[in-house]
Amino acid sequence: MNRRNSTPIQQSFLRQYQQAVLAFSSLLLGLAFVFIASAFMQKDEAATKQPEDVFRVCKWITAPDGTREQSVKTAGLLAPELNRQLPGTIAHIARFMNWPEEVAVTNYEQLAPTEKWAFADPAIMQLFNLKAVYGNVKTALNKPGQLVLTDRYAKKLFGSVNPVGKTLMGLGGKTYTVAAVVEHPASHVAIQFDVIASWASTLEDNGIHAFPFLNNWTAQLAETFIRLEDTEQKALVQQAILEVARKSPHPSGCTDIFIQSLNKTKENTSIRENAEQDRFGARVSPPGGRMVLVAGGLVL
């Protein structure tokens, strides 16, 4: 329509029409934005959701002043004892412990210090469905001296080369062999690491380390994760944990020990925060003694 030849009424109609088209376009754009944002939120929620059958052992500790704190630290012997008592009930059970100090790791050419050195049982791989980039995750932590790297950390030391079978000098200057490389865990995953060394490396007479403080009923340094064959057996596992707790030393003031699903977001967030704090101050209960705080999280 030629605006110069149009009447005022026609010009007014044209302006209203243009405004209506603009408003409708804005509405469509807004709806598209909402749809895309909703899709990303659903995707993110699905990505951060962990398996329904994975639980972590937790406990409430009551201080002398009556304040309560939730902790995820357990004795190193809890996992093998539960596995022994509940054959056929537990699909996977694993201990996981972040070393509380920075570890200098080198392949004798590159040095890559890390604050995310951990020890864990072999089942940790299946329990958290860690995806292999190189190597066999099912056997990667079976023997003393084996370790698993994340792909990000492996690149710092080896670039794009497959490092499986190569040796590293790690904690305490000990020699380790790379058994597998896995995808770096997402930030929501309950375990965060650059390196996982086999828990077998902590046992005495293995030629690597001898860490009795990780393998007794006194020190509360490990996190214990459980994956059940059937979630309906949760009550059975809960009862077994209580029975074990009654027979073994536990932190003074520990009023409740239980298993909790990793999908309980609020609780999981607070637990993760406590777990990070616990790395540098682990609770230890000497038999018959009161709870003490051990600087550095270690009992040597």
Instruction: Give the model's pLDDT for residue 283.
Output: 35
| Domain residue extents for the chain | 1-48, 56-295
Please, which pLDDT band fits residue 170 given cuts at 50, 70 and 90?
A: very high
- 76, 93 contact by CB (below 8 A): no
Say how far apart CA 183 and CA 181 lie, in whole Å: 7
Structure tokens at 244: 């074990």
pLDDT tens sequence across 208-221: 999 999 999 888 89
The 10 Å CB-count burial string (b at 16+, else e) for 1-29 is: eeeeeeeeeeeeeeeeeeeeeeeeeeeee
The two beta strands, 132-135 and 175-182, are antiparallel
> What phi, psi does 31 have (nearest 5°)?
-65, -40
- 92, 237 contact by CB (below 8 A): no
Burial class (CB in 10 A: 0-12, 13-18, 19+), 245: buried
Please, which pLDDT band fits residue 251 given cuts at 50, 70 and 90?
A: low
Give me the percent of the chain exceeding a pLDDT of 90: 44
Task: Calculate the average pLDDT of the chain.
Answer: 78
- Of 121-135, 193-207, 237-251, where does mean pLDDT reach its minimum? 237-251
Instruction: Give the model's pLDDT for residue 285.
Output: 34
Please, which pLDDT band fits residue 262 given cuts at 50, 70 and 90?
A: confident
pLDDT tens sequence across 29-64: 665 555 554 444 444 433 445 667 889 999 888 888
Nearest of 233, 286, 197 to residue 88 by alpha carbon: 233
DSSP-derived 3-state class of residue 212: helix
Q: Is the pLDDT of residue 123 over 80?
A: yes
- 82, 236 contact by CB (below 8 A): no
Q: What is the pTM of this model?
A: 0.73
